[in-house]
Amino acid sequence: MEYMASQKLHALETTNTNNRCTPPLGKIKCNIDGVVFMNNEIVGWVAIVRSDSSHFVCCIIGFKSGILDLFMTEVITACEAFLSLYSWHAKNAILEIDNRRLWDAYMASC
């Protein structure tokens, strides 16, 4: 299942990860993911931002030296995405995550 959180703390669930849904009219969607390159001791993350018509808006990408577990890598990814969206004054954004543990931690902090 995919779990998405908007900045207004609305939750949406979809049952099929192969079907990417477009955000509601007037919103943008930011799909995030992280990766750990164990052999190179590097973690990386990417956030893809799409418009309400599913057009590509931008890509946020980053790397960091050191070994982190995948959960902490995805925490960094979410933070980077939130900071970028905040700096763009994007108030109608939906953050899509695929990590249930991160979703649960986020919802517990609200």
Reference 103, options 40, 53, 54, 32; nearest CA is: 32
Half-sphere exposure of 36 (CA within 13 A, CB side): 12
Report how far residue 8's alpha carbon sits from residue 14's, in angstroms, rounded to the nearest whole number.
18
Q: pTM surpassing 0.85? A: no
Angstrom distance (rounded) from CA 45 to CA 65: 12
93 token code pair: 């954004």
Residue 71 lies in a domain: yes
- Domain of 37 in residue numbering reads as 24-108
Query: How much is the pLDDT for 82?
Result: 84
Assigned domain for 7 exists: no
Does a structural domain hold residue 17?
Answer: no
Q: What are the per-10-residue average pLDDT scores of the chain (110 residues)?
A: 33 43 86 85 88 89 82 84 85 82 78
Q: How many residues does the chain have?
A: 110
CATH number at residue 70: 3.30.420.10
What's the number of domains the chain is made of? 1
Is residue 40 domain-resident? yes
Residue 18 domain flag: no
pLDDT at residue number 10: 34
pLDDT number for residue 71? 82
Distance of alpha carbon 51 from alpha carbon 15, whole angstroms: 22
Sorted by sequence, the CB contacts under 8 Å of residue 67 that are 6+ apart come out as 36, 38, 41, 43
